[in-house]
Each structure stands twice: as structure tokens, then as C-alpha cells.
Amino acid sequence: MTYGSVDTLQRTLADSVFTYAADRKKAAGRALGTLVEIVTYYTLRAWDFRDHIVIERSLPEFANPDITHNVEFSLHPILWRLSHRFAPPPLPLTASKLRRTVPDLRRIDASVLSKSNQLLSTDRLVRNACVLAEDREGPIVANVDTDDEDHCEVVVSHLHRHPFAIFECKRVGVEEGMRKGPQTIEKAKQGAYVARTVSSLQKVRSRNGQVLGVIERSGGGLYCQPYGEVLREIVNGSDADLLADFILTVGVVSNHGNWFTSENHNKELKVLAQSYDWLLFLTDEGLGQFIQRLLLKPSRELAAARTAFLASYSGKHGRTRFTKVTIDIEADAALRRYFLEHEAEIEGWYNVIAQRGCTLAQLREDLGDLRKKNWKEILER
């Protein structure tokens, strides 16, 4: 069975999974939002950006640190990284316990260790991009590579506090039965505001409607060119004046009700498209395919992920086992394998809206170019 729209999928989930909920459709809608975040996160992992990621980090506006905004995924330069394999200690695996277990981590000042984050909990929930500590340079994050009875392997990265890219996920459109979508348009405006204020690259529209990119050089002069040309010059070049405080902003949007497509934009989509550097549309077909294989026509590859999802949405009290932040370790392994083995197919789930004429491969290349820059020299000059 195929689904013509995400709204049809939402009704199906409401009737098949969320039968316990007082408002089944609303519960299914929230779960769809979580699934969009999961798809985005594991796409970035398949692109080999896991060790650059911090989740739900608060970022200051450019040149205005009094105002900060939480972003779903930020990608940061790596200052140092280490991998350590060791006999697993008794769970939970905390920052303090990891510091005692891994000799190279004793360089971390114990006074700045996280007191609450657990990399791996007693009920085997893994925390993605687990922040162990943060110093003046930036966060120190850990990710579990493997964990079994014989050994555990953990990768720890010290990241610079200033990201080179951010990703945010939005569901936009008008809910079924509604004539207006005040909540989604306000969410779109909020996302657009963040996209336009965290980076040193500012957008200015000329009288003829052309979008210009404006960025201040260290001497105080303004550099102004057509926006696309400035963006390409920054990403491809090595000019420290242009790169300092620059953040590539990427939005991932999905449908909320069958009210628009990647070709036929509604107001929310237009607002977001003119604000993010890249805007990706996660198509109804792509999200529907993932949900069918995860839940409705279960694939063996995703069996562990399905179990974790259903355990999280059973209507019973307990910790969720299926979010971008914390996830069942077996579900995490299943999703990592799936997104790697189906990489080309999954990239077909996205349409590029902002950056017309470009492909997802170009975005991946741009992110790769950005992470290779000498950020320590650029940001600390």
C-alpha cells in the first residue's frame, strides 16, 4: 500500500499505533516530527558527520550574544578526537566513569564534567552526541561505536564552540480541517529568524528583488555581492575574513497535511526558503517509505528500531526509547546500518528548494569543504 500524502500516513498511524491516545491524530503528528528528526540525524551520520554533531545546542546570534537560540543539530570543527576500546564497566556509563576508564580523558578537568548525562544507561539507552564536559574552547562529546559483553568502543571529540553549519527540522502546512495554520506559520517565522541571525553572512534585498549577501570584513568595510556568489566564495575559499563567524544554515521541512509540494510553495515554505542557505524538502513519498518499512510493513533490517518506537509510544509511563537524543542501542545500530546500506535511495527522499539547480551531493560536498578549513586559525586569529 502506498500513501498519497503525509496526512494519510498520519491518520493511519493514529488508527493503528496511537489508539490509546485521547487525541490520536495529534499524538501521531508529534511522532512524525520525531521521525523527521531521526531521518535527518541518521542522514548526517551516513555522511560521516557524527563526531561533529551537537544536539539541541544553544547558539548566540551573530554579534549579539545576549540572545541565544536552541538548534536541533549543529556541526562543529574538531579540535581533537580519540577512540578507545575497553572492557565495559558496570552501567550506567557516565562522564566521570568514562574519564576514569579512558586514560587519555584524564586531561579533562573533573570540575567541568557533566553531572547528569549518561552515555549509556542501565536500560541500554545510548545518548547521541553525549556532552561529557565543556570548557572555554567548546563541548567535549562522546559517541558509542560498539558495545557488547566483551568490549565497548567510544569516540570522544573536543569541538570548537562555534559551528560551521546548523540543521533544523520543521513540519509546515495547514492541519486537516483547519482553514489557517497560525501555529505552523509562526514556527516557520521563528525558524527563519534563527536562520537569518546566527551567521555573519547577512541577506539584504535590493529594490529590484535581488538578494544580496553582505558580510563585514575585519577592517570594518562591507563586502557585498549577489548572495549566491558570496556563499559560494565563502564555502569554496579560504578567506578568514569571510569565514570567521560564518555558519551554513540548513532547514529540513516536511508536509503537515497535503497542502503543498516542493514545486508548489505555501507561505511557510516561502518564508523558510528565503532565510536558510539550503532548504531541503523531505518528500511525502520518502517519509512514507521510511514509515512503512519501520512500522506498517516492517522490514527485518529495522526490527529493533520498530520495537523501540512501539515501546516509546505504548501509552504506558516510562522513558522514551526512540528520539534523536536518546535511543535504544540496538535501534541505533539498526538505523545506522540501514541509512548506510540504503544511502543512495535515502538521498532521493529529499528535494532541494533553496539552492535551486544544486543537488544533495553538492550540500554534502559543501559540508565536507567546510569541515576541512583551518578553523582553529580562522576563529582564534
Q: Is the dihedral of CA 190, 192, 197, 198 positive or negative?
A: positive
pLDDT at 176 over 80: no
Cβ neighbours, 10 Å, residue 334 = 22
Reported confidence tier of residue 92, pLDDT bands at 50, 70, 90: very high
pTM: 0.93
Span 41-63, pLDDT tens digits? 999 999 999 999 999 999 999 99
Dihedral over Cα of 270, 271, 277, 278: its sign: negative
| Alpha carbon distance 295, 299 (integer Å) | 8
Domain ranges of the chain: 1-76+162-199+247-381, 78-159
337 pLDDT above the threshold of 70: yes
β-bridge partners, 152: 86, 147
> Does residue 263 have a pLDDT over 70?
no
Higher-confidence residue: 351 or 108?
351
Task: Specify whether the CB–CB gap between 188 and 268 falls below 8 A.
Answer: yes
Specify the pLDDT at position 376: 85
Question: What confidence tier does 27 reach under pLDDT thresholds 50, 70, 90?
Answer: confident
Q: Is the pLDDT of residue 184 over 80?
A: no
316: pLDDT strictly greater than 80: no
Confidence grade of residue 259 (pLDDT, cut at 50, 70, 90): very low
What string of H, E and C letters represents the secondary structure of the chain? CCCCCHHHHHHHHHHHCCCCCCCHHHHHHHHHHHHHHHHHHHHHHHCCCHHHEEEEEEEEECCEEEEEEEEEEEECCEEEEEEEEECCCCCCEEHHHHHHHCHHHHHCCHHHECCCCEEECCCCEEECCEEEEECCCCEEEEEEEEECCCCEEEEEEEECCCCCEEEEEEEECCCCCCCCCHHHHHHHHHHHHHHHHCCCCEEEECCCCCEEEEEECCCCCEEEEEHHHHHHHHHHCCCHHHHCCCCEEEEEEEECCCCCCCCCCCHHHHHHHCCCCEEEEECHHHHHHHHHHHHHCCCHHHHHHHHHHHHHCCCCCCCCCECCCEEEHHHHHHHHHHHHHCHHHHHCCEEEEECCCCCHHHHHHHHHHHHCCCHHHHHCC
Q: Which of 359, 301, 313, 369 is nearest to 42 (CA)?
A: 301
> Which residues are bridge partners to 141 per DSSP?
131, 157
Q: Percent of the chain at pLDDT above 90?
A: 63
Sequence-ordered list of residues with C-beta below 8 angstroms from that of 126, at least 6 positions apart, any chain: 119, 120, 144, 147, 326, 327, 328, 329, 332
Strand pairing category for 350-354 and 278-282? antiparallel
Is the confidence at residue 270, as pLDDT, over 90?
A: no
Residue 260 has pLDDT above 80, yes or no: no
Mean pLDDT for the chain? 89
